[in-house]
Amino acid sequence: MKNPRRKTLAAASAVALGVVGLAVTGGPASAAAVGPDSTYLVLAPEGGKTDTAAARVAAANGTVVAKYNQIGVLVVRSTNPDFANQVKGTGVDSVAATAGLGTALDEGEMVEVSAADVANAAATTTGDPTKEPLYGQQWDMSMIGVPQAQAVNAGSPNVTVGILDSGISSTHPDLATQIAKDKSASCIGGVVDTHEAAWNPTTSSHGTHVAGTIAAAVNGVGVAGIAPGVKVASVKVVNDDGFIYPEAAVCGFVWAAEHGMQITNNSYYIDPWEFNCRNDARQRPVWQAVQRAIRYSQNKGVLNIASAGNSNVDLAHKTVDAGSPDNGTPETRAINSACLDLPAEAPGVVAVSAVGPTGQKSYYSSYGQGVVDVAAPGGDARFRTQGARSTSADQILSTVINTTTKANGYGYMQGTSMAGPHAVGVAALALSAHPGMTAGQLSSFLERTADPQSCPAGVYNPVPLISSGPHAYDATCSGGARNGFYGAGIVDALNAVK
């Protein structure tokens, strides 16, 4: 997700266990050895119990704040400066402090529709998405055949989509009836909190925008969602500083799996390094924990859909990461195929690239042959002027909340963060029209019903006049009917419900 990044793209109980005679490397912590209160991921052997690991945590002066026995992961707090070394041993596969591993949500800029313009839009109650007051500004819906699809199937309330993001405004007039409140929760800190205030947005409108694209009600107010008949659940993983920490993502995937969500939307990446490298000792435990959580959710029947990123990077040919970490001073490091953009590149996750109003790759969208599975509208505010100026109407219009004034409204945003929910909405319609599909079948169906889009010839760059330089967004597409820019093609809502 392209720099600069805005810090606004991308039930457990506390236990303390002890085992008599348990040997701990380095011995118990000294009472005088007190450091900052830090969070750790402690991984027990996968498939085994976490009791021994929890005991080692206690012996190393740590406290388990969340216990995910399903995947053998503990979220731990400790002020012991030597905790990571002392907890190692039998029953602990790996441990990593998550301090500094928070990823800034790549929200980009938002352009709000004025209250006067919203008020002047004619209200209707026809049940026709094209008659919603602001539908005329939703070019994305027509592009993927939403009106025709909703005439066949507008979505089933038996389908619940988990939105792992910054929270959903439960008071928004286009969303209030759409939220599965009994399945919504905050996962901040890796600890579940089901209070409504906890899973509402506090500093970011990103999740509310995503939710509207998927399921805004066709109610004569504002905009139309792709699948207004389905339910969305707010699974808040973005903290008040705009960061997504690995423990929150792990919690989110497990929560979705345990609460009957068939699809999740993931418009973010994990770790401050855009690419999480399995051969990096510090990053490996994070990679393992997230992989376990994703795999667990898949085994529970969840299809996870993720944004490909806004860095215009060829994910199939990574060589250098020059823009990470995003929570410190960026440094240049060599990377290779062992370094993944998570969750988009995790096995079984559907990766989505972004297109603009012309159906061509958005200038910012990352891509990659064999990585991108499908494409979807994400907006492109620069193509009309070749990058010289921005046109907000070519972005994606959806529901928003002003987190300062707490006023609900509508606004434009762009990014693969906006493309992901279009693919999710189409998948939700497909599952509504064809119930009983497994996650794997749904993934395959989403690809088979997409409209193939050919590679542009030569070097592609729709924004040569952008201020960052004439070649800043050069990209080359590879492949045939299935290619690096668009995967199997642009998602098609009508095809999905036939």
Q: Which are the catalytic amino acids?
A: 165, 206, 417
Closest C-alpha to 487, from 374, 367, 389, 353:
374
Rg (CA), the chain: 22
Q: How far apart are CA 254 and CA 166, in angstroms?
A: 17
Return d(Cα 104, Cα 28) in angstroms, integer.
36
How far is Cα 347 from Cα 440, in angstroms, rounded to an integer? 11
Beta carbons of 416 and 371 less than 8 angstroms apart: no
Report yes or no: 259 and 183 within 8 Å, Cβ to Cβ: yes
Here the contacts of 279-282 (C-beta below 8 Å, separation 24 or greater) are: 279/338, 282/96
Q: Which amino acid is at 274?
A: E
How is residue 15 written in tokens? 């236990």
Single-letter amino acid, residue 210: V
CA torsion angle 379 384 390 392 (round to 10): -50
Instruction: Give 146's DSSP letter.
Output: H
CA dist., res. 240 & res. 242, Å (int): 5
Stated length of the chain? 498
CA distances from 226 to 54, 129, 415, 466, 487 (A): 44, 9, 18, 32, 21
Cα 221 → chain centroid? 27
